Amino acid sequence: MRRALITGSSGLIGSEAVTTFDSLGWEVHGVDNNMRREFFGADGDTLWNLARLRRVTARFTHHDFDIRDQSRMDDLVKALRPQLIFHCAAQPSHDLAKARPLEDFDINARATLGLLEAARRHCPEAPFVFMSSHNVYGDAPNELPLQERATRWDYARKEDYEGVDESCRIDASTHSLFGASKLAADLLVQEYGRYFGMPTVCFRGGCLTGSSHAGAELHGFLAYLARCIREGRTYRLYGYKGKQVRDNIHAADVCAAALAFFEQPRAGAVYNLGGGRANSLSMLEAIDAFESRMGKKLSWRYEEQPRVGDHICYISNLTRFRRDYPAWSLTRSLSSILDELARDVHATPSS
Ligand SMILES: NC(=O)c1ccc[n+]([C@@H]2O[C@H](COP(=O)([O-])OP(=O)(O)OC[C@H]3O[C@@H](n4cnc5c(N)ncnc54)[C@H](O)[C@@H]3O)[C@@H](O)[C@H]2O)c1
């Protein structure tokens, strides 16, 4: 029987990976210590998602420890010798990173190195999938010429229409400390592929979403927006007139990409992975879409100052991944993602 080790297994991508691989008959081991609650308070609590995983899976084992605990991580990798490592645990927020720079780096970069090292020692042949981020490009994508439309910013030039590809530079730009720690990890994951020949991949995610996201103000904007409307909470919009654009990919399509990589791994691969132009929308468009689906108005406040390093218009160019994995495609449209979140987003657990 195949075995997968998934870090961040109670979070959005990790939990989707647990159910995906469990349903394929794999033995699945997840590591998560509900750190998201520590980061974001009650909004970030993931225990409800862990309880759901325990209910719906057949061969899932949860390991409640911190990925920074190198000796436990090494012991686990040694004991399991998994056929796949899917590394999804992270401190995921720009804004939190500036308040906790050492912790952010320790989790995002140093613990990733620890996991790579454990993999190199005990299962170097196992595909290693790392959830990287579009924030590795810092604010370089903001240099693309833009045009302002009624409800969104968009690229002004025809050649940028499909979005940002992997040739975008990764340095000489402002990343936020979060972007810098993810970039450090991204480079290490590439290096273990190139230097040691291990089958590693960095998926530089656009906005990843789904109803199992514990949406919080500082991370998981679509799930948080849906929660705010449902619960009558005030949402804060930061800068760019609310016309900033993100591309949104459902967690299921991310896990399908991980499976495609498992089946046909490469060493040191890097791909942008998001919803692409078809699944892009601006904040104003997202508010409008949820208000009409949920039949309720959002109370929102506009803050003039954008978040540091925030993208004005970010769309993932998927050409490289589609070229290398032609059987993969996006299966969740933007409209189906919005329907799911409007219907199923989890209520905020009481604090
Ligand atoms: N969600 C997005 O929009 C997005 C975009 C680009 C990249 N990413 C990346 O994708 C990955 C998954 O994102 P997500 O949205 O599923 O995040 P998430 O916060 O929903 O899931 C991450 C999980 O990791 C756990 N975790 C964090 N630190 C831990 C630690 N030290 N030890 C053990 N567990 C720990 C958390 O409790 C959480 O359950 C992350 O690496 C993130 O940076 C996410």
Distance 38 CA to ligand 1 centre (A): 13
Q: Is the CB of 163 under 6 A from ligand 1?
A: no
Q: How far apart are CA 14 and CA 7, in angstroms?
A: 7
Instruction: Find the 149 Cα to ligand 1 centroid distance in Å.
Output: 33
- The answer to whether the CB of 3 falls within 8 A of the CB of 242 is no
Q: Which of 324, 319, 316, 323 is nearest to 261 (CA)?
A: 324
Say yes or no: CB of residue 176 within 6 Å of ligand 1. no
Is 286 exposed, middle or buried, given 0-12, 13-18 or 19+ CB atoms closer than 10 A?
buried
State if residue 88 touches ligand 1 by the CB under 6 angstroms criterion. yes
Q: Which residue(s) pair with 148 in the sheet? A: 153
The amino acid present at 35, given as its one-letter code, is M
Cα 158 to ligand 1 centre (Å)? 34
Q: Which atom of ligand 1 is nearest to the CA of 213?
A: 20
Q: Is 67 in the pocket of ligand 1 (CB under 6 A)?
A: yes
Would the CB of 36 count as within 6 Å of ligand 1? yes
Which contacts qualify for 266-269: CB closer than 8 Å, 24 or more apart? 266/193, 266/199, 266/201, 266/324, 267/193, 267/194, 267/197, 267/198, 267/199, 267/200, 268/189, 268/190, 268/191, 268/192, 268/193, 268/194, 268/200, 269/193, 269/200, 269/201, 269/202, 269/324
Beta carbon of 96 within 6 Å of any ligand 1 atom: no
Is the Cα dihedral 315, 101, 251, 23 positive or negative? positive
pLDDT for the residue 77: 98
Cβ of 14 less than 6 Å from ligand 1? yes
Q: What is the distance in A from the centroid of ligand 1 to the CA of 147?
A: 33
Q: What is the position in ligand 1's atom list of the atom closest to the CA of 34?
A: 37
Are residues 45 and 214 in contact, defined by beta-carbon separation less than 8 angstroms?
yes
HSE-up (13 A, CA, CB side) for residue 216: 23
10 ligand 1 Cβ < 6 A: yes
Ligand 1 pocket test: pick from 52, 88, 107 the residue with the most ligand atoms within 8 Å of its Cβ: 88
| Ligand 1 atom nearest to 36, measured from its CA | 37
Q: Given CA atoms 245, 249, 254, 256 in this order, what sign does their dihedral have? A: negative
Decide: 72 in ligand 1 pocket, CB within 6 A: no
Name the residue at shortest CA distance from atom 1 of ligand 1. 208
* Six token digits for residue 10: 């109670």
Q: Name the phi and psi angles at 193, rounded to 5.
A: -75, -50
Which protein residue has the closest C-alpha to ligand 1 atom 18? Answer: 11
pLDDT by 10s per residue, the chain, length 351: 999 999 999 999 999 999 999 999 999 999 999 999 999 999 999 999 999 999 999 999 999 999 999 999 999 999 999 999 999 999 999 999 999 999 999 999 999 999 999 999 999 999 999 999 999 999 999 999 999 999 999 999 999 999 999 999 999 999 999 999 999 999 999 999 999 999 999 999 999 999 999 999 999 999 999 999 999 999 999 999 999 999 999 999 999 999 999 999 999 999 999 999 999 999 999 999 999 999 999 999 999 999 988 899 999 999 999 999 999 999 999 999 999 999 998 777 764
- Is the CB–ligand 1 distance for residue 49 below 6 Å? no
pTM more than 0.95: yes
State if residue 28 touches ligand 1 by the CB under 6 angstroms criterion.
no
Cβ of 32 closer than 6 Å to ligand 1, yes or no, is yes
